[in-house]
Amino acid sequence: MSDRKSSSAYWQANLRIIWICLIIWALVSFGFGILLRPLIAGIKVGGSDLGFWFAQQGSILIFIVLIFVYAARMNGLDREYDVEE
């Protein structure tokens, strides 16, 4: 029974990490790149406005950071629940 509870807790923690990453992903790509672009257009980054930067480069860089953060967090979660490879 405790193995089933541990497995359930592991997957709940895993899903929480996935949801957080997906929310950040949506906020950065859709939010900053499209919806909030007019609000952040006055901020200059590298010769263009911040909304354009997020749409062209920023979202890609954030996605790469999210990949590494997800991998590191999952490794920690695996160690915590003793399911590491």
Of 12 and 41, more confident: 12
Per-residue DSSP letter, 30: I
Residue 57 has a pLDDT of 85
- Mean predicted lDDT score pLDDT of the chain: 88
Distance CA 52, CA 33 (A): 7
Q: For residue 49, give the H/E element and its range.
A: strand 48-49
Inform me whether the pLDDT recorded for 2 exceeds 70. no
Query: Does residue 84 surpass a pLDDT of 80?
Result: no
**Which residues neighbour 5 within 8 Å (Cβ) at sequence distance 6 or greater?**
none
Residue 1 has pLDDT above 50, yes or no: no
pTM equals 0.80
- Helix (H) or strand (E) holding 21, with range, is helix 2-26
Residues 14-52 pLDDT 10s: 999 999 999 999 998 888 888 888 888 888 888 888 888
Residue 45, SS3 per DSSP: strand
